[in-house]
Chain A
Amino acid sequence: MNNNSAKAGFLRIIVTMLLSLGIGALFIIGIGENPIDAYMALFKGAFKGKLRFGTTLAGFTPLLLSSVAFAVAAKAGAFNVGLEGQIFLGGIASAYIGINWTFLPKPVLLIVCFLGGALVGAAWGFIPAALKAYYNVSEVCSTILMNTVALYITSYLVSGPMSAGTANAQSHPVTVNLYQFMKPSSANVGIFIALALVLLVLFMLYKTTWGYKIRTVGTNPDHADYVGIDSKKVFIGSMMISGALCGIAGCIEVLGVHGYFLNNFAAGLGGNGMLASLIVKNNVAGAPFMAFFLSVLKAGAMGMQQSTGVPKALVDTITAVFIIIATMETLIQFKEKAKKKDKKEA
């Protein structure tokens, strides 16, 4: 991708953001509230004070990873709806290791927790990818189904064998934690790990032969096979990278935010991650910004509801408007293309 189109893409995201906020404002006026007050409250709810800003960051971390995870899979042509399941299973693996493998010295244990989460996430990504590559089973269907399977596996574990015996379905606390630097919020160093991983993914995609192969398979699998790139293996590989990123997201949630495995903790992370990535057309560099925007909206919504009469469901409306505009924008692009084509032929 050249610089210009990246810049234009970035500009488009900003314009879309403003537009959707503008339409949101109309809704707010419609229910008789002042949009400026509401947005100020939303902004404050997301950024004002250690607790609020920290909470925003803590919510941003897993979304960042899941959005990039989706984008990586998409780069190879895979539609990974299974983010959530991969997060759950990665999380439970990390929790298991963090609780039970106390024979390891703490720093090692921490690393092993991450590795375990990544590995299990990758394995959960491998299954639908292999089914798709070798048996042409739609990865969309299988990942959706596998999300439910993953949720039930973890639910069973934390209410049965791994249960802490509390009223909530949750595991015993893990013995290692990620440092929380904005107490009392649960923002933790996991965010830096996540950011580093995103940079690593970007580097991988555009500077290594792996990335080249992933991009080739995603844009023209026939060409890939012809030049000697095994499109099936690359497809599976990218799904595994995607799964690993999700697994790590789960690990950060368990070690950094909760300190134990909380049943159903990742609900919505998959969908939102997908959303963030899709809106920026699976641009790995753009997805983090989108993920941040969504987290801010989400984190600020509660504050907005509390200090103004605007219900927090408005945020969902804004998100929905956002999606509509983003898709319309592809429509506009399509029209422009058609026009250009006409011109060429005319």
Chain B
Amino acid sequence: MSEYVVTMSNIVKTFGHVQAVRHGEFTLKKGEIHSLIGENGAGKSTMMKLLYGMYPINSGEIVIKGKKMDHLDPKTAIEHGVGMVHQEFMLVEELTVLENIILGFEPTKGMKIDFDAARKEVQKYIDQYDMEVQLDKKISQISVGEAQRVEIIKTLMRGADVIILDEPTAVLTPQEAKRLFEILKNLREDGKSLVFISHKLDEIMDISDRVSVMRQGQYMGTVNVEDTSPLDLTKRMIGREVFLNIDKAYGKAGETILEVKDVWVSSNKETSKIRGMSLHVKEGEIVGIAGIDGNGQSELIEAITGIRKVEKGSVILKGKDITNLTPKKVRDAGLAHVPEDRNKRGLNRTMSIVDNLVAVQLDEEPFSKNMMITKANQDVYAEEMVKQFDIRPTDYNLPTSALSGGNAQKVVVAREVNMKKPLLIASQPTRGVDVGAIEIIRNTLEKAKKEGAGVLLVSAELEEIISLSDRIVVIHEGKITGELLASEANEENLGLLMMGGKESK
């Protein structure tokens, strides 16, 4: 048996025509934390889903603990001690923590579930790794960080000694992240092998033993953490050719287009999630909003676009007060909006590509006349958009549910950007899309800016924010913690502000 508990070599994985992993390599030693980094769509999550058996590989070889795995599915992966903590938790909200942990392999006593035995067993892990969870609370009552610990205990209970964590810190507050790292270190000391997927460099430097980099589905090498630096990793991760060469035009910002003045907004769960935010966007500039997911970005955008109520404060678009107007009126005042969730809002998945492309301008000529839909004109337009944005498949009468993430997002972007509205809000425009689409989408945003639009960009990808924005506003827990010019910004100082500026290095 080699020194590796997991070896993945020459991995290829395609989804339809998209090559998610072109050439993947990965090894995991016993008792190490191995980070896998790369930008969105680089194939890191896919690599680990392959290891967990969620998809079959097209070619290549996966060896777990010396055994070559031919037909890997999650069940066999679990049997071989591989566990995964997904980005989205797989927990039943209405069951208690304990019930969730034992779900699927409950210890029984006669016909009954032996909760006492289960509790003892779980308690063992809690004590051993210092993972405090409240066993009798419902999942809906506990915090995200705690839910994550529940997920980790779940994998341990199923006998995992190889644990994959898919971007575990994306949803955590800094305190919770710190806590998680303590746990991960405890697990490592106990001989568990961990895979840590992330694109946050400071975290990776902090916790890993080794780091593997992927770019555009390609394995870019592995380094020991002592031998590298954040700068080195960035270079490996992004490469020069992708978007750092976006020809950013500074200093052409004109009149103020959007002004947000001391705005307070509630979220679905808490009142005043956003507490007194002010910012502005000028013509011909991209303002990036950086922040850890869930710190009020969604609420802010929904409030500006009229989808969510503003409690207090005002929003002004091109000199017009649009506070609490309907989405339609806000759009009429000059807004185009690429929403964060293309499946929930951005698209009507049951309707066709052409229907989705005209959704916003349906009432306008040439797409309709006297309330009659003019299908012929819509077709001409759809044909043009499909070509211009390289939307595939090109049959625009297909429902958008048939599209891959990247192509679906291109439909949204095509619809919104083509109207050339003075304000373009793009929320997570490249989340979960492939590299080709990322490039098209980013170039489109840059082009909109050059043509004089004010662009407000929200992204969880720091490098996306840095490479596209002129100015960067950092938010933390519903407040603005800082504003920088993109030229002064780097992962370090942004990261610090994103964590509320409390923790210093």
3 shortest interchain CB distances as A-B pairs: A228-B328, A227-B359, A226-B345
Task: Determine the distance from Cα of A228 to Cα of B307 in the docked complex, in whole angstroms.
Answer: 10
Which A residues are in CB contact (< 8 Å) with B307? Answer: 225-226
Q: Is A220 an interface residue (CB 8 A)?
A: yes
A209 surroundings in chain B (CB, below 8 A): 362-363, 368, 371-373
Q: How far is the CA of A168 from the CA of B43 in the complex (A)?
A: 77
- Contact yes or no, A228 B348, CB < 8 A: no
B351 near A215 with CB under 8 A, answer: yes
**In the bound complex, do residue B347 and residue A223 qualify as a contact, i.e. CB atoms below 8 Å apart?**
yes
Min distance, Cβ B338 to any Cβ of chain A, angstroms = 10
- Knowing A225-B307, A226-B346, the reply to whether A219 touches B373 (Cβ < 8 A) is no
CB proximity of B50 to chain A, nearest CB, Å: 12
Q: Is B359 in contact with A216, judged by CB distance below 8 angstroms?
A: yes
Q: A179 interface residue, CB < 8 Å from B?
A: no
> What are the residues of chain A within 8 A of B349 when measuring CB–CB?
219-220
Taking CB atoms, residues of chain B closer than 8 Å to A226 are 305, 307, 327, 337, 339, 345-346
Sampled A-B contacts (16; CB under 8 Å): A207-B372, A208-B371, A209-B373, A210-B371, A212-B355, A213-B362, A220-B347, A220-B350, A223-B346, A223-B348, A225-B327, A226-B337, A228-B332, A228-B360, A229-B359, A345-B55
Q: Which residue of B lies closest to A224 (CB)?
A: B348
Residues of B within 8 A of A208 (CB): 368, 371-373
Contact A219 B351 (CB under 8 A): yes
**Size bracket, chain B contacts:** 20 to 34
For B347, the closest partner residue in chain A by CB is A223
A2 to B350, CA, bound (A): 12
Contacts of B305 in A (CB 8 A): 226
Q: Given contacts A227-B327, A346-B56, could you give 9 more A-B pairs where the C-beta distance is less than 8 Å?
A: A207-B372, A219-B351, A222-B345, A226-B305, A226-B307, A226-B327, A227-B331, A228-B331, A345-B54
Does B347 lie within 8 Å of A212, measured CB to CB? no
Question: How far apart are the CA atoms of A209 and B367 in the complex, in Å?
Answer: 9
A230 within 8 A of B: yes
Chain B residues, CB < 8 A from A216? 348, 351, 359
B362-380 near A? 1/0 per residue, CB < 8 Å: 1100001001110000000
For residue A210, which residues in chain B have a CB less than 8 angstroms away from its CB? Answer: 371
Q: A229's contact among B328, B344, B346, B351, by CB below 8 Å, is which?
A: B328
Q: Tell me how far the C-beta of A209 lies from the nearest C-beta in chain B, rounded to whole angstroms.
A: 5
Closest to A215 in B: B351
What residues of B have a CB within 8 angstroms of the CB of A345 in the complex? 54-55
Number of interface residues of A (CB under 8 A): 23
Tell yes or no: B397 within 8 A of A by CB. yes
Q: Is the Cβ of A230 less than 8 Å from the Cβ of B326?
A: yes
Find the B residue at minimum CB distance from A207: B373
Q: Chain B residues near A222 (CB, 8 Å)?
A: 344-345
Residues of A within 8 A of B (CB): 2, 207-213, 215-216, 219-220, 222-230, 345-346
B185 to chain A, nearest CB (A): 34
CB neighbours of B328 from chain A (8 A): 228-230
Let me know if A212 and B373 touch, CB within 8 A.
yes
The residues of A that contact B345 with a CB separation of less than 8 Å are 222-223, 226
How near does chain A come to B381, taking the closest CB pair, in angstroms? Answer: 15
In the complex, number of A-B residue pairs with CB atoms less than 8 Å apart:
67
Interface secondary structure of A, over-half rule: helix
Tell me which residues across on chain A come within 8 A of B368, comparing CB atoms.
208-209
Q: Which residues of B contact A225 (CB under 8 A)?
A: 307, 327
- Contact residues in B for A212 (Cβ distance below 8 Å): 355, 362, 373
Looking at the assembled complex, report how far the CB atom of B469 sits from the nearest CB atom of chain A, in whole angstroms. Answer: 24
| Residues in A whose Cβ lies below 8 Å from that of B346 | 223, 226
Question: Which residues of the partner chain A approach B373 to less than 8 Å between Cβ atoms?
Answer: 207-209, 211-212
Return chain B residues, CB-CB under 8 Å to A213: 362
Q: If the complex has contacts A212-B362, A220-B349, A223-B346, are A228 and B327 also in contact, measured as CB distance less than 8 A?
A: yes
Min CB–CB distance A97 → chain B (angstroms): 29
A223 — which chain B residues lie within 8 A by C-beta? 344-348, 359
- Shortest C-beta distance, A218 to chain B (Å), equals 9
Q: Which residue of A lies closest to B332 (CB)?
A: A228
Distance, CA A205 to CA B307, complexed state (A): 26
Whole-angstrom CA separation of A345 from B57 in the bound complex: 11
Closest to B367 in A: A209
A33–B359 Cα distance when bound, in Å, is 58
Residue of A with least CB distance to B369: A209
Chain A residues near B331 (CB, 8 Å)? 227-228
**B332 proximity list for chain A (CB < 8 A):** 228
- Interchain CA distance A213-B347 in the complex, whole Å: 14
Q: Which of A207, A210, A223, A229 has the most CB of B within 10 A?
A: A223
A44 to chain B, nearest CB (A): 44
Residues 55-114 of B contacting A (Cβ, < 8 Å): 55-56
Once the chains bind, are A219 and B348 in contact (CB under 8 Å)?
yes
CB proximity to A under 8 Å, residues B309-356 = 326-328, 331-332, 337, 339, 344-351, 355
Q: How far is the CA of A208 from the CA of B369 in the complex (A)?
A: 9
Separation in Å of the A10 CB from the closest CB of chain B? 20
Distance, CA A104 to CA B347, complexed state (A): 51
Docked CA distance A223–B412 (Å): 11
Specify the chain B residue showing the minimal Cβ separation from A206: B373
- A208 to B373, alpha carbons, bound, how many Å? 5
Nearest chain-A residue to B362 (Cβ)? A209
In the complex, what residues of A have CB within 8 A of residue B397's CB? 2
CB distance from A204 to the nearest CB of B (A): 9
How far, in whole Å, are A310 and B344 apart by their CA atoms in the complex? Answer: 53
* Chain B residues closer than 8 Å to A230, beta-carbon distance: 326, 328
Q: Which residues of B contact A219 (CB under 8 A)?
A: 348-351
Closest to B399 in A: A2
State the CA gap A334–B349 with chains docked (Å): 18
Closest B residue by C-beta to A219: B350
State the CA gap A230–B359 with chains docked (Å).
13
What's the Cα separation between A246 and B257 when bound, in Å?
49
CB distance from A199 to the nearest CB of B (A): 15
Please indicate which of the listed interface residues A208, A210, A212, A345 has the most CB atoms of chain B within 10 Å of its own CB: A212
**A228 CA to B337 CA in the complex, in Å?**
11
Bound together, the chains give a CA A220 to CA B401 distance in angstroms of: 13
Complex alpha-carbon distance, A222 and B337, angstroms = 14
Query: Which residues in chain B, 182-217, are within 8 Å of chain A measured between CB atoms?
Result: none
CB distance from B226 to the nearest CB of A (A): 39
Q: How far is the CA of A216 from the CA of B339 in the complex (A)?
A: 17
